[in-house]
Amino acid sequence: MPGSRSRARPMSADYWPGFVDALSTLLLVIIFLLSVFMLAQFFLSQEISGKDEALAQLNAQLSELAQELALKKAESDKLQTTIIDLRASLDLAQSSLKEAEAKAVAAENQLIVIGDELESEKKLSKEAQDQAALLNRQLAALRQQMASIQAALEAAEAKDVEQQAQIADLGKRLNAALAQKVQEISKYRSEFFGRLRNILTSDAGFEVVGDRFIFPSAILFEVGSADLNAAGQAELRKLASALLDISKEIPGDINWVLRVDGHTDKQKISTAQFPSNWHLSAARAISVINYLETQGVPSSRLAAAGFGEYHALDAAETTAAFQRNRRIEFKLTER
């Protein structure tokens, strides 16, 4: 018996080194995974920082282009004023030239008359000759002045053409920068609509038309009412959650807004609460705005509009068409 006990104790102690090895291996794996995670975080932060710097540079370039365009336009306006003044001076010079030519003709006619009267004496009046010479000198001076004004006008017109070309080039560059801004908000709008498709009730009749996401009014309101029902509130909570998530990804310099548009069908309404379809469509849009505010969407990022029955999706005179035209549209756009 004593011999058997002494042999059993070493056999039970052999489990401890294996347990220590397994624990060491597990610790090394955890340290390796933490290292990989930290490297991934580092590279991700570097990439995000690079994108933020590129966006800041683009905004600075856009501001610089806008300032340069404003300066060029101001120079163009000043040049236009100069051209108008030069044209006025040219018209005045031409008028003076015509008057001087008329005086010269009159003087020449007078000399002819005097010459005819004094033909027998073969002598012209000294005063008439001096007057004719003076008029000729004035005529030459006016012609020279008119030539100078014409040259200045041509130079101004050439400079105006150059300025217009520069303005056109700046306009193209500004339009390109603005187009890039529009593409940015379009990217986030597409992602927002994609998330809505995934989280909203699939058989509720939601649809996307162009840049708008459409909710049938039947999901949100009872007929002739602007009070949100329980089902509508549930769907709007999902929409608000998706909007708040996507807003975290939109850069701070993009002044985005979610526009809520109310639409009715063409059937007229006339009640004490809603005298017309205008009132009903606007009230429904405002109800949606108010509920989104309760879900944490900033008021400054929301806008409401009522369109009545004047922008129908389906022009048919059927119950299905009326139902499709009664809707709330959401548009993520830039203010």
- CATH number assigned to the domain comprising residue 307: 3.30.1330.60
Which residues form the domain of 257?
A: 200-334
Quick one: residue 205, left, alpha or beta (phi over 0 = left, psi -120 to 50 = alpha)? left
Whole-number pLDDT of residue 6: 46
Domain presence at residue 83: yes
Which of the listed residues 149, 180, 211 is the one where a domain comes to its end? 180
Long-range contacts of 104-111 (CB under 8 A, 24+ apart): 104/132, 104/135, 104/136, 104/139, 107/131, 107/132, 107/135, 108/132
Same domain flag for 167 and 277: no
Whether residues 172 and 215 share a domain: the answer is: no
pLDDT at 194: 84
Supply the pLDDT for residue 322. 95
Q: Which helix (H) or strand (E) holds 165?
A: helix 126-199
Residue 232 confidence (pLDDT): 94
In the prediction, which pLDDT does 271 show?
93
Q: 104-113 contacts: CB < 8 A, separation 24 or more?
A: 104/132, 104/135, 104/136, 104/139, 107/131, 107/132, 107/135, 108/132
- Flag residues of the chain having pLDDT under 70: 1-14, 115, 118-125, 128, 168-183, 201-204
Q: Is residue 189 part of a domain?
A: no
In 3D, which of 203, 335, 224, 242 has the Cα closest to residue 284? 224
Q: What is the pLDDT of residue 202?
A: 62
3-class SS at 173?
helix
Whether 146 and 94 map to the same domain: the answer is yes
211/242 same-domain check: yes
pLDDT at 79: 80
Number of separate domains in the chain: 2
Helix (H) or strand (E) holding 320: helix 319-325
Largest pairwise CA distance in the chain:
179
* The predicted structure's pLDDT at residue 168: 66
SS3 122: coil
Total number of residues shown for the chain: 335
pTM comes to 0.49
Residues 6+ apart with CB under 8 A from 12: none
